Amino acid sequence: MKRAMIIGGSGSGKSTLARLLGEISNLPVVHIDPMYWKPRWVQRTSDETHALVLEAASKDSWVFDGNHSRSIPDRMARADHFIFLDLPTYLRLWRVLNRTIRYLGRPRPDMADGCPERFNWEFLTVWVAGYHRRSHARDIAVLNSAPDHVKCYHLKSRKEVRQFLTDMEAKYE
């Protein structure tokens, strides 16, 4: 593994899996959320975010955590592993609420500096609860259209994620 790309709905565990996979493989981890946000939750322009993502994706190796649909084709062309975290909505909602409570008032480790965690009803309803309606079909299409050189994983449960990590640990021992 040289370049692994992880996508999925909010709360699916992309950042956690990226961090663990980075530890196992000794690959640098790239979190996409800081590329969207400046301090105080000021959103970057679409072009600025896209340029930051493409710059990071041009590096020799990475574990890339995040969706950013505009750059998926560019990242997929360079990736050799693709992981789609397709976990149930109830679990993703629980995880987002849990991390909100855990980090409330402080930035998460995978978030931009100066962006403290906050409760955001719109985020919960649109991006977490609304993921299947908004983006799931797109992510399935990305999975189904991956180039032949990319090894794909469609992980649908915590058990499958744990098994994936166990398998990766065995490869890197």
Cα dihedral angle (127, 128, 133, 139), rounded to 10 degrees?
80
pLDDT at position 160 is 98
Q: What's the chain's average pLDDT?
A: 97
134-148 pLDDT, tens digit per residue, is 999 999 999 999 999
Give CA separation, 150 vs 2, 98, 134, 147, in Å: 11, 33, 25, 6
What percentage of the chain carries pLDDT values higher than 90?
99
Q: Which two tokens stand for residue 41?
A: 């939750």
Q: How confident is the model at residue 150 (pLDDT cuts 50, 70, 90)?
A: very high
pLDDT at position 38 is 95
- Backbone φ and ψ of 64, nearest 5°: -105, 115
pLDDT at position 27 is 98
pLDDT at position 35 is 97
- What's the DSSP call for residue 32? S
**What's the rounded Cα separation, in Å, for the pair 84 and 46?**
23
**What's the rounded Cα separation, in Å, for the pair 75 and 68?**
10
**What's the rounded Cα separation, in Å, for the pair 58 and 22?**
17
Q: How confident is the model at residue 14 (pLDDT cuts 50, 70, 90)?
A: very high
Average pLDDT over residues 91-120: 96
Amino acid type, 32: I
Tell the residue number behind the tokens 């950042």, with chain if given.
15
Domains and CATH numbers, the chain: 3-168 (3.40.50.300)
